[in-house]
């Protein structure tokens, strides 16, 4: 929803005046000798490595140092988020340092993603989070919650533009798309969150259910995996409003 995007943009601008370091998502240099990639990143910037068609439980090492096991993302894919320290930065062609997948991987890294923001930016929004999708302006949170990644979808509009729907209006829209309200979080295919300007009446954000995990598109930035109700009171998103399951 545009309102949420605006809030995040404002937060970015304010935060940049305080303490955040920024680096373009394109400021990463990748070569491919088998399963290793050279990584250039700023200290503290988030790196997200992803593997597809993996066997077992792949692990990640950097410059020969074990970092940890990758987390299953389903469908034989794995991901690993990493905050490089200043001593772990790749500094030009001299002394290149390598991020490598091993221990069970049957393919090289699908991608290495460098977030635009430091971890503290995300910590201001939610109590827990993991990057599972790159920043993208082609779709928004409602579209993503419905499995759509090629359009920005927000059906609630009037002569003034987009507006946050009531729960009743959302029920009508979700029913038309083959979803029914449920009161069990474990059954939720879609979770709706209150708009922070209307904390008990209107909807401003959506997530897609993955069992005990939930994923949502945060404005124009990344797709994030969180717990069901992770958002901080001073952030851009509200608390859980309703659950929906696919008929």
Q: What is the CATH number of the domain that holds 51?
A: 2.60.120
In whole angstroms, how far apart are CA 182 and each of 4, 6, 244? 25, 31, 5
Q: Out of 118, 147, 178, pick the residue that ends a domain.
A: 118
In whole angstroms, how far apart are CA 39 and each of 21, 23, 90, 91, 234? 18, 13, 6, 9, 34
Mean pLDDT of 220-242: 94
* 99 & 176 share domain: no
* 146 & 236 share domain: yes
Mean pLDDT of 61-88: 75
Q: Is the residue at 5 inside a domain? A: no
Tens digits of per-residue pLDDT, 5-38? 334 333 332 222 222 223 333 333 344 334 455 5
Tens digits of per-residue pLDDT, 191-212? 999 999 999 999 999 999 988 8
Domains of the chain: total? 2
Backbone angles phi, psi at 209, to 5 degrees: -85, 135
On the question of pLDDT at 132 being above 70, the answer is: yes
What pLDDT is attached to residue 103?
53
Q: Which helix (H) or strand (E) holds 123?
A: helix 119-123
% helix / strand / coil in the chain, to the nearest 5?
A: 15, 40, 45
* 91 & 178 share domain: no
Mean pLDDT of 130-134: 81
What pLDDT is attached to residue 12?
30
Q: Is the residue at 11 inside a domain? A: no
* 149 & 197 share domain: yes
Q: Is the residue at 241 inside a domain? A: yes
Mean pLDDT of 86-107: 52
Q: Which helix (H) or strand (E) holds 131?
A: strand 130-133
What pLDDT is attached to residue 235?
92
* 193 & 99 share domain: no
On the question of pLDDT at 94 being above 80, the answer is: no
Q: Is the residue at 127 inside a domain? A: no
* 81 & 44 share domain: yes
What pLDDT is attached to residue 31?
41
What pLDDT is attached to residue 23?
32
Q: Is the residue at 199 inside a domain? A: yes
Q: Which helix (H) or strand (E) holds 61?
A: strand 59-62
What pLDDT is attached to residue 33?
38
Question: Domain range holding 103?
Answer: 21-118
Which of 106-110, 173-177, 179-183 shows the lowest mean pLDDT across its residues?
106-110
Q: How many CA atoms lie within 13 A of 208 on its CB side?
A: 18
Q: Out of 77, 95, 118, pick the residue that ends a domain.
A: 118
What pLDDT is attached to residue 207?
98
What pLDDT is attached to residue 96?
45
* 137 & 239 share domain: yes
Q: Is the residue at 30 inside a domain? A: yes
Query: Which residues, other chains included, contact 166 with Cβ-Cβ below 8 Å and sequence gap of 6+?
Result: 201, 202, 203
Q: Is-contact 91 42, C-beta < 8 A?
A: no
Mean pLDDT of 99-117: 62
Torsion, Cα of 200, 201, 207, 212 (10° steps): 40
């Amino acid at each position: 929803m545009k309102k949420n995007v605006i809030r995040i943009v404002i937060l970015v601008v304010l935060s940049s005046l305080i303490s955040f370091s920024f680096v373009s998502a394109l400021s990463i240099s990748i070569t491919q000798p088998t399963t290793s990639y050279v990584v250039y990143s700023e200290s503290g910037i988030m790196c997200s490595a992803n593997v597809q068609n993996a066997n077992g439980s792949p692990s990640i090492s950097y410059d020969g140092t074990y970092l940890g096991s990758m987390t299953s993302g389903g469908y034989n894919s794995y991901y690993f988020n990493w905050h490089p320290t200043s001593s772990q930065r790749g500094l030009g062609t001299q002394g290149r340092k390598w991020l490598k997948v091993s221990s069970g991987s049957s393919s090289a890294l699908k991608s290495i993603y460098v977030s635009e923001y430091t971890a503290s930016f995300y910590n201001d929004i939610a109590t827990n989070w993991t990057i599972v999708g790159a920043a993208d302006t082609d779709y928004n949170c409602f579209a993503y919650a419905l499995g759509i990644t090629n359009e920005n979808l927000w059906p609630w509009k009037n002569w003034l533009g987009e507006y946050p729907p009531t729960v009743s209006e959302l029920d009508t829209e979700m029913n038309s798309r083959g979803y029914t309200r449920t009161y069990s979080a474990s059954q939720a295919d879609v979770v709706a969150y209150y708009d922070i300007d209307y904390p008990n009446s209107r909807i401003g954000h959506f997530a897609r259910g993955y069992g005990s995990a939930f994923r949502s598109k945060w404005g124009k930035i990344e797709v994030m995996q969180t717990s069901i109700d992770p958002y901080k009171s001073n952030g851009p998103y509200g608390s859980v409003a309703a659950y929906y399951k696919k008929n």
